[in-house]
A and B are shown apart, each in its own frame.
Chain A
Amino acid sequence: MGGVTVREYGLSFVRVCLQKYIGKSWPFLLIFLAGIAVSILLSVRGKRRDNPLEVVTVDGNDRNMNYGEPDYEEDENGGSTAKMFLSVFLICAVTVCNPFLVRALIPKLGMTAVYYRFFWVIPITFGAAYYLTAALIRVRNRVLRILAALAAAVALACIIPVNPGLLNLKLPTNVYKVDGAVPVLCEAIHADFETTAAYRKALKRSEANIDRNSEKWLRWQAGQYPLCVFPSQIEFAVRQYDPTIRLLFNRNLRLYYEGNRTTGITYDETKVRYQRRALILDAMYGRDESITTESFQEAMEKTRTKYLVVEENLANGGFLTGAGCTQVGVTAGYTIFRYGD
């Protein structure tokens, strides 16, 4: 959960995480908890009423000895299910949702960003659905049952917003379900890369018989594909579509550079490794005018970056071409630059 840390929130970390986890779907948590309470209450009352100790046969013998295994009839009020839900709830409360335990352990386990997953253990969705269904089937009249279901659905729909994912549905333009520019750009990069000396060198190496399990083979295998930098909006789709394109930025590093801190992973911005990568992106978009041609060239050579893809209207083209890049082409609204020959 982005921005929620044990260091900042201390003992209230669990509460804040739960609030963020459940959000405006809190009525479901309420239904779940109320369902458990009502079930247990009904179960206790039912047991008192049908207490086998009080059941005496006509001949006066206590039937208790012959009571045998409990069957479903006894569980008409969902008593055992409620007890199971309650067990899960209580055990989670004293273990994975215990603020003291969480404060001590979660940061050590490095699970601060993914702590919310422990809430999955509490079956709120299925418990709420169970009690909603159980309440509905108690209405014996079919027409009344349908009306009750509709009323409950409308009431809940008025309080709770729709799943945010469902509202963001964009129809795909191709069978790969990626931005239409991605296939075009990948093809253009490969077409150009195959004319370079680096590709010819890689081809020559492939003729040598290298052991597939050696470190050398791993290095060679990785080196035969062009190393690129893409705009953030399409970068994550590139290797899904074409894994023979290498990327300079890994997922977390790119998110960090773009200011996204939800991963919980931070990078030391004083490290040369980070600075070189950030410098390339800054130069691509002209974000930092103090960047010199020499520092850009050094960053490109040290990282062995070959291609830069920039939005046509945002490209810092003058600087890039002056610093040793060649404009390979403009396609699908993006400009492709190649560094070196």
Chain B
Amino acid sequence: MKIMLLAGAALVLQLFLFLCTGSVVMRVRGQKEYSFSSALLIGYFTYFGIFEVICLLCEVALFPLRTLTLIMAVFAAAAILLGLFCGYRSWTESMNSLRYRLKLHGPALAFVLLALAAALLYVILYSDASADSGWYVGTSATALATDTIGRFDPSTGTRVLRFQARYALNCYPYHSSVICSLVRGLPVIVQVRSVMSSINVLISFLSVYYLGRVLFPDSALRGEKIRSIRERPGSITRRRADLFVIAVFFVNVFSSTIYLPGIFLFDRSYEGKSIILNAVLVTVLSISVILWREEDEGHYPFRTMFWVMAAGVCFSASSLMALILAMAAILPLIAIRSRWNLLIPLLLGNLPVIVWAVVYYLIQHGTIVLQTWR
């Protein structure tokens, strides 16, 4: 019972941290349209982008986990305080308009919430003792038990003399170690396989919902007389996005092989690969659609892309796929429409993965040697 309460507390703490981080980012950007879901999504990616940088520096400097925990505790406290300051008014406004916004959705929202509840229940109940889970959970658990970052092999517990590029550069598992250091008494295995899985599923649903909003923009009834709430601005896009979320859920349920996104969403949601597949790639796709539609969003899409890519590096080496997707989706647009001015923002947006790829190559070929001892 105590562990379940601690798990609940860790879940609320992390969601609130992401929400506050997102609120700060939205305020800094001066974004007018505020919603809890978009703040949560942006905050999630921004947090993991920042975490990657801090954790990687601590790892290479051979700092103990407690130092990383201290830094992240200070960061979290600052993010929460700033978030309260920046987001309080927006939160109040959002809560006041919640009823109206729910009405804009229509009955399909009930099915979306049902699908989300089913997915959450499934990932909380599902137990996976596969070889891969041994590595992911083992990494977090080993870091906490030894008070180190990446200096012991998670699958055996033996010392590692050199950091391996494939694993050392993706710091996502250490986030759970940090959380378990802060929430004393919460077992790492519960944080990774139940709490983080739930958060990742929620983020995945939000990413898909935003992709739906982008794919089905609010336009069809522009200029016509509004007769009911279903024809109000924002209603069409929301209702269609809800249908899209249900359709994606359906496709995931009927993913017949272990390589498709569905299996990663339901059975391996705690893994970095799953987040790449079900949140990072989805967000990159959303950004690409926005650019193809030539919506006037300024540099927001590329700024978002930067943090999504930085978070992608944190999650898994598979962030390379996000880079390939961004290039495959946006480079043709630049070439076809001669929008060469997008080239530099595109490169800057993808910079985290490009830098990661270069460092990875240099470590693999022995140009950079990162020892786990001095």
Q: Spell out A's residues near B (CB within 8 Å).
A: 1, 20-25, 28, 69-73, 75-76, 78, 80-81, 83-84, 87-88, 90-92, 95-96, 116-121, 123-126, 128-130, 132-134, 136-137, 153, 156-157, 160-166, 169-172, 175-179, 211-215, 217-219, 221-222, 225, 233-237, 239-251, 254-255
Contact = CB atoms under 8 A, between A and B. Distances in A.
Contacts of B217: 72, 75
Given A126-B282, A214-B374, A161 B129 contact: no
Instruction: Return the 5 tightest CB-CB contacts between A and B, nearest first.
Output: A72-B219, A236-B134, A177-B127, A246-B157, A165-B267
Contact of B134 (A130, A156, A240): A240
B193 interface: yes
Interface string B257-289: 111111100110000010011000110010011
B189 A166 contact: no
Interface stretch (B40-48, B50-58, B69-77, B323-331): B323-331
B157 A129 contact: no
Contact of A121 (B273, B321, B331): B321
B266 A163 contact: yes
Contacts of B122: 166, 169
B257 A246 contact: no
B256 A160 contact: yes
B135 interface: yes
A161 B260 CA distance: 13
B187 A176 contact: yes
Interface stretch (B26-34, B88-96, B246-254): B246-254
Interface string B103-130: 0000000000000000000100111111
B85 interface: no
B369 interface: no
Contacts of A134: 216
- For chain B, give the interface size range: 35 or more
B251 A129 contact: yes
Contacts of A132: 247, 250-251
A225 B253 contact: no
B231 to A, nearest CB: 14
Best-buried of A211, A234, A241 by chain B (most CB within 10 Å): A241
Contact of B256 (A23, A96, A214): A23
Nearest to B335: A87
A190 to B, nearest CB: 13
Given A121-B328, A222-B157, A161 B373 contact: no
Contacts of A123: 281, 285, 325
Contacts of B193: 177, 240
A137 B64 contact: no
A87 B332 contact: yes
B373 A213 contact: yes
Given A84-B289, A96-B324, A116-B259, A125 B131 contact: no
Interface stretch (B13-21, B144-152, B298-306): B144-152
14 contacts: A91-B328, A117-B273, A123-B281, A163-B262, A163-B263, A165-B267, A169-B122, A175-B4, A178-B129, A213-B62, A221-B148, A241-B189, A247-B156, A248-B156
B138 to A, nearest CB: 4
Given A213-B62, A239-B141, A25 B254 contact: yes
B184 interface: no
A240 B254 contact: no
Interface of B: 3-4, 62, 64, 122, 125-135, 137-138, 141-142, 144-146, 148, 151-159, 161, 187-190, 192-194, 208, 211-212, 215-220, 222, 240, 243-244, 247-248, 250-263, 266-267, 273, 276-277, 281-282, 285, 288-289, 292-294, 296, 318, 321, 324-325, 327-329, 331-333, 336, 372-374
Contacts of B126: 165, 169, 177
Contact of A80 (B156, B259, B293, B321): B293
A161 B244 contact: no
Given A69-B294, A218-B373, 19 more contacts: A24-B257, A25-B256, A70-B294, A81-B292, A84-B333, A120-B281, A125-B262, A137-B243, A169-B125, A214-B373, A236-B133, A237-B134, A239-B138, A239-B154, A239-B156, A240-B137, A241-B141, A243-B188, A250-B155
A132 B245 CA distance: 11
Nearest to B143: A243
Given A169-B125, A175-B4, A20 B289 contact: no
B243 A136 contact: yes
Contacts of A125: 248, 251-252, 255, 260-262
Contact of A83 (B153, B282, B292): B292
A200 to B, nearest CB: 20
Contact of A76 (B187, B218, B220): B220
A20 B258 CA distance: 9
B138 A243 contact: yes
Contacts of A23: 256-257, 260
Contacts of A218: 151-152, 159, 161, 372-373
Best-buried of B153, B189, B267, B289 by chain A (most CB within 10 Å): B189
Best-buried of A25, A165, A172, A243 by chain B (most CB within 10 Å): A243
A242 B138 CA distance: 9
A172 B88 CA distance: 40
A251 B216 CA distance: 45
A306 B47 CA distance: 42
B168 to A, nearest CB: 15
A214 B4 CA distance: 38
A179 B129 contact: yes
Nearest to B263: A165
B159 A222 contact: yes
